[in-house]
Every structure is written in C-alpha cells, then in structure tokens.
Structure 1
C-alpha cells in the first residue's frame, strides 16, 4: 500500500500539489491524456525546474486556449500567469466528472474535492452547494489542477493520504467583492477541523483548492506517519518569501520485516440474502476503500441455507473503512476480524516494448532476483484492441518481451518498487 504525506511547509495550492506529485514521478503524459478527453478548453501544460531558497522544485506552467489573461484570483503561493475566466456551477462540474471516462477513483476523489469547496462557498454566499458559481475554482485552470492532482494520485497508486498542519498566511487580499482577510472565507470554512501551523508570512499561503484537497482526501493530520519514505518531491509556488515557498510530498510505504513479513487483518462476514450484483458492487467499494484483496466462498449456513462468505484482506490503515463498507453495503449484523502475518515478495512495474506498443509488466522480486512476472491486463487489452491482435497473442508477446528484457540483465535495483 502506497501512502502520500503532504508536508505543507508553505501552505498548499492546487498547482503546487500537482507539481509536487509530478516531481514524485507521476507521469505527465498520463495526466494530460485523460484531461484532454474531458469537455474543457484546449490547454498546454509543462513543468519547469525552479529554485526556492536553495530547494530544487518543480513549477507547473499552464496555458488555457488562446487567451492567457483573466481576472482569476491567485494566491501568493500559486501562479500568476492568469488565464481566461470561466464560470460554472458546482453541479455542472461534478456532472462532467461523473459522466467522464476518468478512472473510477479519480472521479470519486475529484468530485469529493469540488463538493467540499461547493459546500463551503455555498455557506458563505447563502446558497445551496449545487447552485454555487465557481468564480475561482470553476476556472479551467483550477479544474485541471484538481482533476490533475487526482490523476497523479492514481498514477502513483496512492491509497492513503496524510498531511501536516497547514499555515494560511496573514494580512488581506483583494477579491471580486472587495478586500478580504486571509485566510479567505471559503478557505477558513474548509479548514474547520484541520490543524493550522504558525508561519509569519504576509500573503495567502493556502487557497480554496488546496484546502479542498486537504478536506476531501486527507485521512489524518499530524507528523510523519510510521512508514518508510521512498521518494520526496517538491512543488513550487510563484511568490518568493523568506522561507522556501514549496509543498513537499513524500511517497511512503509500510516497512516490512527483513524477511518480507508484515501484518494484515482478515475481515469476514457471512450472508444468505444478497444478489450477485450487490456482491459485485460491495467488492468494488471494498477495493476503493483500501482492501488488499476480496474474495467470496460458497457456504451452507444454519437451516442448510446456501450463503456466501466474504473475506477481505485489509492493511491496518484501511481497516475501519472496509468494515464500514461491509456494515453499510451488506445485510450483515456484524463482522469478525483476525490479525495475520504474511510473507510477501517485493513488487515493481516495468514498461517493455512489444511490436504493437508499450505494455507494463508486474515483477515479483526477492533481493535482486525476479522470481516471476506477469503483464498488466489493462495494458494488454488496450494494445490488443488498438492493434486488432487477439488478446492471447498480445499477452504472449508481452510475456516473451518481458522475459527477453529480464534475461538481458535488467537490474531490478533500478526499478521503482
């Protein structure tokens, strides 16, 4: 299970978050490909290396359509190359996301961020969340920021998100309705329940988009969780302060024992009154909530009634959420859990070239040795469909190409585990 820790040393904004995730290794082409499939204005996006008080960071540059200037309010921690202003209702944005071809978890996370911001804006302006007009967050560049962040999380396979307390900045700023205090009213509403950090800097450090990301996606706030740091990325803001104006993102994983052992919960429930469709839906919700594996076993219950045993393998961080799914989505009156130890192999992904295009393969590794590997189904299916080659033939080509690559002496130490 991969986790993300957002170290908000200089607040948080949408573009800073996306840049930090790209610095962590999120694939910019993957993000752009999905964004360009949405009914939004044409855009160009690139990443520049910058220096912020001695820290090398990535800066997101985004240009929308042919009109690079707009009156969108920008934070001191964000970008100042303004773009065309665009007004959209919250309901329209969420409807666009839900009707898109985005990955399911990207849809859920993106919609959750916009729903959180809409709720805060609605309270401030005295309207329902659905009727909120996003004067700032509804602009094309902020839609791209928010959905782009969720795509980056998906590309990095992030399951859990943690964050530090967040500074807001001090002073006042000019907005469409006049001079407003920092944090802006909607930002302050979003930050209810989120611990703040003291930082004496004049200007807005945390934006509504940044606060919405924290509100909707972060599981827990505080210091670094007891996980293993794999990589660190930095996303830069525009303004220069006496401190580094960056958001630090840490990619983390649970630390297994030296022999590959780790603990995991086994959660079970027995049912005799659910349809196959309902069981399938429950499985989807469990995986979205962080389950490592889910499977069903046919059983006979009391009075010889045929039933189903649901078994869920759950890491500690996702235990509560998965149990809540079982209690909410099934007719069970309770769940039981046991804690097990398991021994696992390290895993890595590697992209290999086939005659019909690239395919990712998953490798099972012990030490420096690849014990076995398998092509990723989605990549094989996509390449087979695009090329017109039968799935089985495409699968065997990927297996052959992967074996040749590994036998040629590819060093597993260089792979991203």
Structure 2
C-alpha cells in the first residue's frame, strides 16, 4: 500500500499541493503532458522551477493564464476534467473537489453557485494536476495532518471577508479536517481546501506508517520571513508484505422501519441511494407494530452526507421517523490484480482475507465469451494463483 501524507501546517493551495506531489514523485513530465491540451490552446503555460522558502528548497508550480483563457462554468470545468482524465480514479478526485467547491459556495452565499475567482483555467489545472499525480504515484490511502489556517480579513470578490474565507471554513468543516489557527495572512485557498477534502473522501484514511518513498515541498507564491511557505508531501510505501492493512473509519448509519412501501419503491430507492453516493444500502425483513411484516432499511454513508441522505429517505419514502448515528468500521484496503482469460481482463480484489474476482467482470466476460460464470471464476483464480506464485 502507498500512503500519501500531506502536512499543510503552514497552509495549502492547489498549486502548492500539485508542486509538492510533483517534487515527491519526480513527475513534472507527466504533469506537462496532462496539461498540454490547455497549453496548446494558449489558455495557460506551466512553469515548474526550484525556489527557496525560509531556507527550504521547494518546487514552485505556476500556471500562468494566457490572453485567450476563458472563464469556465462549473459544468465546463466538469467537462474538461473528464476530457483530460477519462474515467480514472484521478477524475473521481478532481470531480469530487469540484462538487465540494460548488456545494461550499452555495452554502456560504446561497442563490446558486458563483465560482468567481475559481472559474478559471488555473483552478482546472490544479484539480487535474493533483488528481493525476496521485494516480501516477499509485496512492492507495491518505493521511492529512492538521491544516494551518490564519485568521484576519481579506479582500475578495464579495468584499472584505474574514479569514479563513467562508468557503475554506465550510470545506474544512465538511471534510472533518483538523485545523490549527493563528493570526496572519491567507494560508489556505478554496482550491487547496477542496482538494484536501476530496482526497479525504475518495481515499481511506490510514496511519502514517511505512518507509518514505518520496518527499516533496510545494512552494507558495510569497517568501515569508520566519515561515517556510511550503506544503510538505510524503509518499510512504507499506513496509509489510503484499497485503494491505486494515483501516478504521467513521461511517454514518441511517435506519428506518417500513411497512407501507411497495417492493418496487424499496428496490428503486436502494439503487437511487447508491447512485447518490451511499456506501451501501440494504433491506432486512422485520416485524413491527401490530405484527405487521415490513423491512428495516439501512443506508451507510460518509459522515458529511448524513443530513442529505436522511432528507432523501424521508422525502422519497414518505417516512417521518429516521434514526441515524456515527459508527466505526474496520475495512481491509484491497489491492487489485488484472487476470486475462480469452484476452479479456478480469479484476481480482486481494486482501489479507483472501482473493475474489469482481463479479461484474465475470458477468461481462461470461456474456462476451459464453463461458459459464462458475467455470470462468475457476479459470481466473487458477491464473491468479499462478501469477502470484511467480512474484
């Protein structure tokens, strides 16, 4: 397992996090290739160069806007993320960060989403750059140290606003990130906060344990006396054997008993809740008041999604009483191995509890080849064991 450790004690911005990752992984070339569709349009240029911040050597990443750089709506930003990244896990990180930016802006200002300074090509570059470098580095989990925020006041598009900016405060709160606060100038930007929040939601949280495979320092624009204006990034490699460790995390558990909802509506709701971001949803037969048969609906969600999903349960199923709580769960972090049968890939999920082919892959390949699923399962596992024995 490879764990990304981010230490934003002195602050974080999107370009600082991107530079820190590029520095830690030596992936400047990969970054330039990713952003080439933007640079060839004259929308921006990418400048990576070494600087010193309070005697610390760091990498500075500047995305300089060109004269033709457009102002991008939230939907246009989404389109470009998909265009640049396809359907990779990196795209999931960038799109989640965009969702969080939009949600925080709407929460803070109301009346729709107005990205203002964030509706730019450099925001897009920061989001896809960080997401792509996480994919290049093979990150499996994250560990985010306390975020150093400064408080005071700062002129923004809406006028003189408090620091940390309302959007930054909203993002850090929604992600449940720990902060340390001292007086000073702005140290955390909305893009930086959104990326930290997205990383915390997309990847499992892990202890910062392992051997250091890379260290990087992403520099901010200012050189501040007595303060190293850098974001420290480390990539840790698991010191153990090939299996991933278990991680303990908090989940929201939502429950309600239903005895007056049709089976069709219940089945549809389970699918809708999973599509809306639930971690899991299931129905258990139960008997309620007056010995009426019914079902117990349970929905597992990320802690920040509890309120939203409770409202969805109540509105969709017309049930006034919904229970919810936060609960700990231990989860084995898997690694994935591709096995080929009839020149078609089947993914095998591997943990210390064992190995298992992904059923959707089995069903797809079975449909394409006519091989029964049971036989295909056995062939995949035989090839997997053979490949593992040769490692």
Shift of 1:403: 1.6
Is residue 143 from structure 1 mapped to residue 134 from structure 2 by the alignment? no
How big is each residue's C-alpha offset from its partner over 1:151-185, in whole Å with a ceiling of 9 and x where there is no partner? 77798565x88552325699x99x9x9xx99xx99
Shift of 1:8: 0.6
Counting only pairs closer than 5 Å after superposition, residues 117-196 of structure 1 correspond to structure 2 as: 130=113, 132=115, 134=117, 137-147=118-128, 149=130, 156=139, 162-167=144-149, 188-192=165-169, 195=179
Shift of 1:278: 1.7
- Structure 2 unaligned runs (5+)? 54-58, 173-178, 239-244
Given that 2:255 and 2:323 are in contact with CA atoms closer than 8 Å, whether structure 1 keeps it comes out as: yes
Pick one of 62, 75, 80 that aligns with 1:80: 62
Judging changes above 3 Å, is the alpha-carbon distance between structure 1 residues 107 and 239 closer, same or farther for their aligned structure 2 residues? closer
2:228 aligned partner? 243
Shift of 1:62: 4.1
Is residue 309 from structure 1 mapped to residue 286 from structure 2 by the alignment? no
Q: Partners of 1:105 and 1:237 in 2: how far apart? A: 23
Which secondary structure does the structure 1 equivalent of 2:62 belong to?
Answer: coil
Given that 2:94 and 2:127 are in contact with CA atoms closer than 8 Å, whether structure 1 keeps it comes out as: no
Counting only pairs closer than 5 Å after superposition, residues 323-338 of structure 1 correspond to structure 2 as: 325-326=309-310, 328-330=312-314, 331=319, 333-335=321-323
Which secondary structure does the structure 1 equivalent of 2:99 belong to?
Answer: helix
1:348 aligned partner? 335
TM-score, normalised to structure 1's length? 0.56
Residue-pair matches, total: 340
Given that 1:9 and 1:248 are in contact with CA atoms closer than 8 Å, whether structure 2 keeps it comes out as: no
Shift of 1:402: 0.6
- Structure 1 unaligned runs (5+)? 29-43, 49-59, 220-224, 254-258, 367-371, 411-417
Q: Partners of 2:72 and 2:104 in 1: how far apart? A: 12
- Which range moves more in the overlay, 140-149 or 95-104? 95-104
How big is each residue's C-alpha offset from its partner over 1:258-307, in whole Å with a ceiling of 9 and x where there is no partner? x989799876432234412123223444xx35x4x543223343345442
Shift of 1:21: 6.0
Judging changes above 3 Å, is the alpha-carbon distance between structure 1 residues 139 and 82 closer, same or farther for their aligned structure 2 residues? same
1:281 aligned partner? 272
How big is each residue's C-alpha offset from its partner over 1:80-136, in whole Å with a ceiling of 9 and x where there is no partner? 35253522343443664899875796586233244157559x96xxx96545555xx
Q: Partners of 2:332 and 2:114 in 1: how far apart? A: 50
TM-score, normalised to structure 2's length? 0.58
Judging changes above 3 Å, is the alpha-carbon distance between structure 1 residues 373 and 244 closer, same or farther for their aligned structure 2 residues? same
Given that 1:299 and 1:309 are in contact with CA atoms closer than 8 Å, whether structure 2 keeps it comes out as: yes
How big is each residue's C-alpha offset from its partner over 1:174-197, in whole Å with a ceiling of 9 and x where there is no partner? x9x9xx99xx99973433466455
Which secondary structure does the structure 1 equivalent of 2:11 belong to?
Answer: coil
Q: Partners of 1:132 and 1:264 in 2: how far apart? A: 31
Judging changes above 3 Å, is the alpha-carbon distance between structure 1 residues 72 and 95 closer, same or farther for their aligned structure 2 residues? same
Instruction: Name the structure with the higher helix share.
Output: 2
Pick one of 241, 256, 260 that aligns with 1:269: 256
How big is each residue's C-alpha offset from its partner over 1:368-410, in whole Å with a ceiling of 9 and x where there is no partner? xxxx31223466677789xx545747655532321211233x3
Counting only pairs closer than 5 Å after superposition, residues 16-415 of structure 1 correspond to structure 2 as: 16-18=16-18, 46=30, 62-63=35-36, 64-66=38-40, 70=44, 79-80=61-62, 82-84=64-66, 85-93=68-76, 96=79, 102=87, 106=93, 109-115=96-102, 130=113, 132=115, 134=117, 137-147=118-128, 149=130, 156=139, 162-167=144-149, 188-192=165-169, 195=179, 197=181, 206-214=188-196, 227=207, 229-230=209-210, 234-237=215-218, 243=228, 245-248=230-233, 268-274=255-261, 275=265, 276-285=267-276, 288=277, 291=279, 293-311=280-298, 318=302, 321-322=305-306, 325-326=309-310, 328-330=312-314, 331=319, 333-335=321-323, 347-352=334-339, 356=343, 359-365=346-352, 372-377=354-359, 389-390=369-370, 392=373, 397-408=379-390, 410=391
Q: Considering only aligned residues, what root-mean-square deviation do their CA atoms show, in Å?
A: 5.9
1:12 aligned partner? 12
Which secondary structure does the structure 2 equivalent of 1:269 belong to?
Answer: strand
